[in-house]
Structure 1
Amino acid sequence: MREHTRGCAGLLLAFVGAVTAVLAWAPKARVSVHGGFEGLHRDLSVLYVDLPLIAAGGALLPTAVWLLALRVLRRPWLALLPAVAVLALGVWSLLSWWTPYRPPEIVY
């Protein structure tokens, strides 16, 4: 496989990983952006702190695994299998463990 084709495949994997991670994260972060009842729980720090970290993790983690598997397996499309598995595991862990901060309810 030519070098520029391998580089394009790596960029495509990084893009797909970042988009997948952000789309999986967005429904959980909706509460913090929308704010809930009368906007009392609005926390926009999820947009400038969590969003870049989620996108970077989604782009870098599968790409790094793909590059490591490529060095071992020497077949780019065979190395894609562990990268996709790591992306799926990363999205699962994101949906399982990450929860946006919710301040306590205000009692009047």
Structure 2
Amino acid sequence: MAEMSLSKQVVPVEPVSITKTEGSTRSNLAYAVFILFCFWVGMQFLSLVVHAPGVLEHLAQSNDATRPRIEMGLVVSTVFGLVPFLAGCALLSLMGLAVKFHHRHHF
């Protein structure tokens, strides 16, 4: 049989530390600030919709014969809904990777 030797051990010999580190606390704090920012933005948007004249009525259109009927197909709603959402997620991911790369190579 052939014998193989690895340059590093597969199972670490040193005990794994179970104490929290400073980075964990900072990341939890950053996550909490991000969640609070998202709630604030949502609250501002809802306040804008409720207090803007005519916007709420426009969003909640009733079946009025004088207004034109708008029908969107699946393709249109996908192009104008899902594609911008995914593009925004990709942009945020790229920004996060850039920040991670910047911190990793400049510290």
Normalised to the residue count of structure 1, the TM-score between the two structures is 0.31
In terms of fraction of residues, the more helix-rich structure is: 1
Asked which structure has the greater RCO (Cα within 8 Å, sep 6+), the reply is 1
